[in-house]
Structure 1
Amino acid sequence: MVFGGFTTTMYTSMNGYFVFGVTGCYIEGFFATLGGEIALWSLVVLAIERYVVVCKPMSNFRFGENHAIMGVAFSWVMALACAAPPLFGWSRYIPEGMQCSCGIDYYTLKPEINNESFVIYMFVVHFMIPLMVIFFCYGNLVCTVKEAAAQQQESATTQKAEKEVTRMVIIMVIAFLICWLPYASVAFYIFTNQGSDFGPIFMTIPAFFAKSSAIYNPVIYIVMNKQRRWLWIPPVKQVTWRGLVAQHGTELMTGSSRERRQNGKRHK
């Protein structure tokens, strides 16, 4: 994203237009789309991981290193499933917005490259499905946390964990919507209103939010994860998919038993 997207866009912006030709447009568009989609699907994987850890839909299931690798691989596969087809003739990459960066062609129907079917595919598979998965996982997570907190009202640790988890869920969902809702809405509007007049800024600003998600999503995750806050560039082997919710989910489920043990020691 940095080398194939932002750096190229910065250089072309100084020239006032995209100067690298058709091939360069495809390369820049591919890397920019790939980076944005990896960020999107990483949020989906994190939501699923937190749902499984806290809500425990599968008993006795524990995340390990292999599951983390599978999550990363899944994010890349889904991102490639979105970014690669235009390279092989299903839709195409063209200059968009201020004409200094390239993206998927939402502007023309282009039946010879099946552009209409690709836009529908992107909107359903790479926006609606991730949105529904995130809402489902985080919705169930909040309900589980609140239920556990209600059963342990005397525990200050549990109440604090509930607030932290709820805050994390709200921020992550809002971040997802800020990243992708404007881009998906504007792109869908442009595609369904072919021939309408709109300025270059109309598409540039939503594209900026979507593509920059690759930068500020990790920042949000690091800031909200107390276990990783001090470790801005952690070694690969130390990175796990257990974040803030995994930590607080454990506190919620074990808080009352820990307090009972402490009370037992006092009585002794």
Structure 2
Amino acid sequence: MKGSRAMELPEDFWIPVPLDTNNITSMSPFLVPQDHLGSSSVFYGMAAFMFFVFIFGTSINVLTIACTAQYKKLRSHLNYILVNLAVANLLVAGVGSFTAFCSFACRYFIFGALGCKIEGFLATLGGMVSLWSLAVVAFERWLVICKPMGNFIFKPDHAIACCAFTWVFALMASLPPLFGWSRYIPEGLQCSCGPDWYTTNNKYNNETYVMFLFGFCFAVPFSTIVFCYSQLLITLKMAAKAQAESASTQKAEREVTKMVVVMVLGFLVCWLPYASFALWVVNNRGQSFDLRMATIPSCLSKGSTVYNPVIYVLFNKQFRSCMMQMLGMGSGSDEESSTSQSVTEVSKVGPA
């Protein structure tokens, strides 16, 4: 089905196709399967994907938190930020992905209008904390390795303060729809909830809210990530050039370059479709769009709960060895990754 216009009634959801308004509740995404929007195979396929994200996203993030709690050697300032990221991912996976799985399996949002608001708020909150945590990780790496502030030492207290700020910023972004600036309604195939970026109802000022989200919660974190990692790569290349005879430094430069590329690409895959599609809808009112395609960006953003810990945690040998030890699959040796060791070496020749 194509969606091209918004209807003023009812308040809790948006009917994406022209229907008889005298019988509008017969198509409510809170009451009946939304089979008019897609085939059963589409709904069940999305349910399978959301189940995968729920199981793996919940498991890996719980394991991240448990490992940090059990092993003192993991309690560094960087790992505090990674735990903050894991908590945010767990919120999205445990609430957003689970409710989406149940709803896709039933082909409508089974938790009702109030459940939609709760799920939309908590999933948005977790997503925003995740976005800002990724920016904080990049900022921390820039401070520690590039040393723009000279001998300033990034301590655990600084990491905890940065984590607190991510929740403050996330609340600033996720609370407004509960108080009338936009609203949380079913989106896409009507089986998950998020901010209303479909309608033009001036009562909610949806356009300004979407622009706020795009600027404050996507453009700013992404710009921070790109700036910090580009500076990191420049520093590593300078160090590699200065230490042309050092095999470990050359290896570090290659490995970190690959990891930075993967991190930035992963960020874009998870969040660019959602941000771009919402921005396109806001700036192209009246244009038709396929609601099945509108569902994909939402699901990709929830998929970040699996991607983030894989890149930021499992690629860390110390974290990985602790996880394997906890699961009884390894000796738990205290080895550090060659990249981390070499980056430490590189940072010594970085800007003072």
TM tier, smaller:
0.7 to 0.9
State whether structure 2 residue 214 is matched by structure 1 residue 123.
yes
CA distance in 1, matches of 2:342, 2:208: 43
Query: Which residue pairs with 1:81 in the alignment?
Result: 172
The separation in 2 between residues aligned to 1:68 and 1:39, in whole angstroms, is 15
Say which SS state the counterpart of residue 195 (structure 1) adopts.
coil
Is 1:135 the counterpart of 2:229? The answer is no
Which protein is richer in helix relative to its size?
A: 1
Question: Given the alignment, which residue of 193, 207, 227 partners 2:298?
Answer: 207
Q: Give yes or no for contact 1:91–1:115 (8 Å, CA) kept in 2.
A: yes
Q: How far does residue 153 in structure 1 lie from its aligned partner after superposition?
A: 0.3
Q: Distance in 2 between matches of 1:134 and 1:204?
A: 26
Number of paired residues?
248
Give 1:96 deviation, angstroms: 0.5
Deviation at 1:224, TM superposition (A): 2.0
Q: Distance in 2 between matches of 1:32 and 1:2?
A: 8
Q: Secondary structure at the match of 1:231?
A: helix
Residues 50 and 246 of structure 1: CA distance in aligned 2, closer, same or farther (over 3 Å): farther
2:193 is paired with a residue whose SS is: strand
Does the alignment pair 1:250 with 2:347?
no
Question: 1: CA distance between counterparts of 2:258 and 2:223?
Answer: 19
Match of 2:126 in 1: 35
Match of 1:45 among 136, 152, 163: 136
**Could you say what secondary structure the match of 2:311 adopts?**
helix
- Aligned 8 A contact 1:98 1:201 in 2: yes
Query: What percent of counterpart residues are identical?
Result: 51
TM superposition score normalised by structure 1? 0.87
Q: Distance in 2 between matches of 1:40 and 1:21?
A: 28
Cα RMSD (Å) of the superposition?
2.1
Question: 1:88-144: per-residue Cα shift (whole Å, max 9, x none)?
Answer: 111101101111000111101221122221111111111111111111101111001
Give the aligned partner of residue 12 of structure 1: 103
2:119 alignment partner AA: E
**Shift, 1:168, TM fit:** 1.3
Moved more, 88-97 or 14-23: 14-23
How far apart are the structure 1 equivalents of 2:106 and 2:338?
44
2:245 match: 154
Matches within 5 A, 1:179-258: 179-232=270-323, 247-254=341-348
Secondary structure of 1:111's counterpart equals: coil
- TM-score, structure 2 as length reference: 0.67
- C-alpha distance in structure 2 between counterparts of 1:72 and 1:38, whole Å: 9
- Separation in structure 1 between the aligned mates of residue 281 and residue 325 of structure 2, nearest angstrom: 42
Contact persistence 2:93–2:305 (CA under 8 A) = no
Per-residue deviation, 1:69? 0.8
User: What is the rounded CA distance, in whole Å, between the counterparts of 1:248 and 1:48 in structure 2?
Assistant: 19
Letter of the 1:135 counterpart: V
1:232 aligned partner, one-letter code: M
Residue 12 and residue 182 in structure 1: after superposition, are their counterparts in 2 closer, same or farther (change >3 A)?
same
Task: Please name the residue that 2:255 is paired with.
Answer: 164
